Chain A
Amino acid sequence: MAWTWLHRFGSPPHFYRVAGRLTPWFAWPAAVLIVAGLTWGLVFAPPDAVQSDAYRIIYVHVPNAFLSEMSYTLMAVAAAVGLIWRIKVAHAVAAAIAPAGAVFTAVALATGMLWGQPMWGTWWAWDPRLVFELVLLFFFLGYAALRSAIDELDRADRASGLLAIVGLINVPLVHYSVVWWYSLHQGSTIFRAGGPAMPASMLWPLLLSILGHTLFFGAILLARARAEVLRRERSGVWLAEVVG
């Protein structure tokens, strides 16, 4: 069947090898796109009519905020696949996402504060978007704390996997908070009715930065998932081959 290529990823040695080969194909384009996107955003994009140069924070804030939601969703889906079909590699992927996801969320919050202070006049507000993003950080940290509290990997995978799935209800709250409630935070700039609310000269560097950060996340995910696969391997044959 055409699906055998997918099923083979459930095999730890196959996953380990393919992930290792794929990593540079994510890492190098990511480096190029991030450098290009950030340089373009800082140097060549025009200043904003209202926010002047302060708006340039968007080129680091939005990619991190986007990845915080995306990585959490992926983590919960991987955990669900691991729980339902008892696939070790899926649990390894879920466990690999949490540290990177927590960092993206923390950076989204911190860069948001650095943007909020000059533009809103406050570092923090108990605003729906901000609060749900903070809850997202707590879910990432709770997931990691639960894992480290359980010594046995299989049990840690199952318990933390359930927590990851429960926390998934928070993701639409983060995403649609600016639509569902009156919020200090502005709405979507790119994916909105009527097209992006930005001229091309500001939009392009943002798209490059988002794509670059997404590929970067892919590279980190692959490298960490390889480590997690190794940690779960008890039978010696292929392990001896790759680390011996």
Chain B
Amino acid sequence: MADFFRMSGYAFYVWGAYALAVGALLLNVWWARRSHARAIAEARRRLARSVVP
């Protein structure tokens, strides 16, 4: 098990790359959801202001 985490001495590079890559996936998900939520909020404000149905 300890050998697995050591990655034959390349632990920093291998785990660093995986942490970055997985972090970026999560960032993409969070960022996309925020953008959608903001677009909805913005559309609601626009509708509230307009007289058009």
A contacts, CB < 8 Å to B: 34, 38, 42-43, 47, 52-54, 56-57, 60-61, 64, 99-100, 103-104, 106-107, 110-111, 114-115, 117-118, 216, 220, 223-224, 226-228, 230-231, 233-237, 239-240, 243-244
Residues of A within 8 A of B25 (CB): 34, 216
Which residues from chain B contact A42 at a C-beta distance below 8 Å? 14, 18
Tell me the bound Cα distance from A239 to B28 in angstroms: 25
Complex contact A220–B53 (CB within 8 A): no
* A57–B12 CA distance with the chains assembled, in angstroms: 11
With contacts defined as CB atoms under 8 Å apart, how many contacts are there between chain A and chain B in the complex? 107
| B interface residues, Cβ below 8 angstroms from A | 4, 7-8, 10, 13-14, 16-18, 20-22, 24-25, 27-29, 31-33, 35-36, 38-40, 42-44, 46-47, 50, 52-53
- Given A114-B17, A220-B32, A237-B53: A231 touches B42 (CB 8 Å cut-off): yes
Give 17 CB contacts A-B under 8 Å: A34-B25, A42-B14, A52-B8, A54-B10, A64-B24, A103-B27, A104-B24, A107-B21, A118-B13, A220-B32, A223-B36, A228-B39, A236-B50, A240-B47, A240-B53, A243-B40, A243-B44
The residues of A that contact B18 with a CB separation of less than 8 Å are: 38, 42, 57, 60
Evaluate contact between B21 and A53: CB separation under 8 angstroms: no
- Interface pair B13/A114, CB less than 8 Å apart: yes
Known contacts A60-B21, A99-B31, A224-B36: A114-B42 contact under CB 8 Å:
no
Quote the shortest CB–CB distance from B32 to chain A (angstroms): 4
CA–CA, A118 to B53, complex, Å?
62
A178 to chain B, nearest CB (A): 20
Q: In the assembled complex, how far is the CB of residue A192 from the closest CB belonging to chain B, in whole angstroms?
A: 23
Are B16 and A114 within 8 A (Cβ)? yes
Distance, CA A47 to CA B7, complexed state (A): 9
For residue B43, give the distance in angstroms from its CB to the closest CB of chain A: 5
Distance in angstroms from B13 CB to nearest chain A CB is 5
A236, B39: Cβ atoms under 8 Å? no
On chain B, the residues within 8 Å of A239 by CB distance are 43, 46-47
CB-based closest 8 A-B pairs: A60-B21, A227-B39, A53-B7, A230-B39, A54-B10, A111-B17, A227-B36, A223-B32
Q: Which residue of A lies closest to B42 (CB)?
A: A231
Identity of the chain B residue whose Cβ is nearest the Cβ of A209 in the assembled complex: B21
Is A243 within 8 A of B14, CB to CB? Answer: no
A228 to B42, CA, bound (A): 11
By a CB distance below 8 angstroms, the chain B residues around A216 are 25, 28
Q: Which residues of A contact B16 (CB under 8 A)?
A: 114
CA distance A103 to B32 in the complex (A): 12
> Are A227 and B35 neighbours in the complex by a CB distance under 8 Å?
yes
Residues of chain A contacted by B35 (CB below 8 angstroms): 99, 223-224, 227
